Amino acid sequence: MKKLLIGGLLFSAPVAVMAEGSPWLINPGDTQVQVTSVEQDADEFWAGDNKNKTPGNGDVSLSTIFVSVNHGISENLALDLRTGYAESDTAVAPSEKDFTDTTVGLTWRLYDEFLGSGNAPSVALRVAATIGGDYETNTISAIGDGANGVEASLIFGKVIGDRFAVAGDIGYRYRDGDVENEILFNVNGTYFITPYLSATLAYHWVDSQGDLDIGGPGFTPERFDEVEEDIESVEFSLSYILTSSISLNLGYGAVIDGRNTPKSDVVTAGIGFAF
């Protein structure tokens, strides 16, 4: 029953929850593809740690279609890829449409809770490379930071009973150029209401290692990608396994605290396919 729960979790988990990898790997040779629409909208942002109305008193918005692929290479190794296409918009700058950053990762399982003894959680190590997109980075509504980079994270997870699982990761992201490196932390809990319907609550935290603030000493619009962008957010989502090869999910999230970042509301909707 516990392994069936994990299979359902991997198949139906929302993209934001699984973005940093999973300690539970899919079977060798299996592939899962998820297409997700993410709508972010904000009418306030933090300049440094001071909250302000967005430029021009209009909304800052970012609409993205992500495509995520997860493939089992072996019993202890999985490949993941995520890319997308986005449109950004703000009242004081032209809208922009372009491809997002692309991330390719490998997850190596270090310990499987189902094969070991005792109550130790599953543990995995993920390393990933990011290829920065070619969009403009000099506005508060930029699609991203436009930087290449590498990251590594330690991932953990534990099935508790027959309906609940908790997972999380802590990692470090290095980016090239003047974009600041980041410490990452994510944790989420999933409860299966039925064998097909699950609810997930997640918390995400990103801590930039920089010290440049929007509007602070030395700041210019051309240096938006260099600012210290800290983000603290929460997300609630529902996922439903429609058939053995199709899953659906819907979620809502919000940035609850941050530095040099929009105070966004986030709505997600996705469909997953298993092969």
Summarised one tens digit per residue, pLDDT across range 64-78 is 999 999 999 999 999
Instruction: State the pLDDT at residue 11.
Output: 62
What average pLDDT does the structure give for the chain? Answer: 88
Confidence band, pLDDT 50/70/90 cuts, at residue 191: very high
Confidence band, pLDDT 50/70/90 cuts, at residue 85: very high
> Side-chain half-sphere of 166: how many Cα atoms within 13 Å?
6
Mean pLDDT of 202-230: 90
Of 154, 264, 254, the residue nearest 203 (C-alpha) = 254
Alpha-helical runs (H) found in the chain: 2-12, 15-18
* Sign of the alpha-carbon dihedral angle for 213, 154, 74, 33: negative
Residue 258 has pLDDT above 90, yes or no: yes
Give me the amino acid identity at 131. Answer: I
Q: Which CATH class is domain 2-274?
A: mainly beta
Mean pLDDT of 102-107: 96
Residue 144 has pLDDT above 60, yes or no: yes
* Domain parsing of the chain, residue ranges: 2-274
Confidence band, pLDDT 50/70/90 cuts, at residue 138: confident
Give percent above pLDDT 70 in the chain. 91
pLDDT of 17-61, one tens digit each? Answer: 445 678 888 899 999 999 999 999 999 999 998 998 887 667 889
In whole angstroms, what is the distance from residue 43 CA to residue 175 CA? 28
Residue 248 has pLDDT above 90, yes or no: yes
Instruction: State the pLDDT at residue 81.
Output: 94
Is residue 32 classed exposed, middle or buried when 0-12, 13-18 and 19+ CB atoms within 10 A define those classes? Answer: buried
Q: Are 69 and 36 in contact (CB under 8 A)?
A: no
Is residue 221 classed exposed, middle or buried when 0-12, 13-18 and 19+ CB atoms within 10 A define those classes? Answer: exposed
Collect all residues with Cβ–Cβ distance below 8 Å to 174 and sequence separation of at least 6: 149, 150, 151, 181
Residue 171 has pLDDT above 60, yes or no: yes
Instruction: State the pLDDT at residue 18.
Output: 47
Residue 16 has pLDDT above 80, yes or no: no
Collect all residues with Cβ–Cβ distance below 8 Å to 85 and sequence separation of at least 6: 64, 65, 97, 98, 99, 100
DSSP string across 5-57:
HHHHHHHH--HHHHTT--SSPPPTT-EEEEEEEEEEEESEEEETTEEEEPGGG
Q: Are 16 and 253 in contact (CB under 8 A)?
A: yes
Confidence band, pLDDT 50/70/90 cuts, at residue 168: very high
In whole angstroms, what is the distance from residue 62 CA to residue 93 CA? 13
pLDDT of 262-271, one tens digit each? Answer: 999 999 999 9
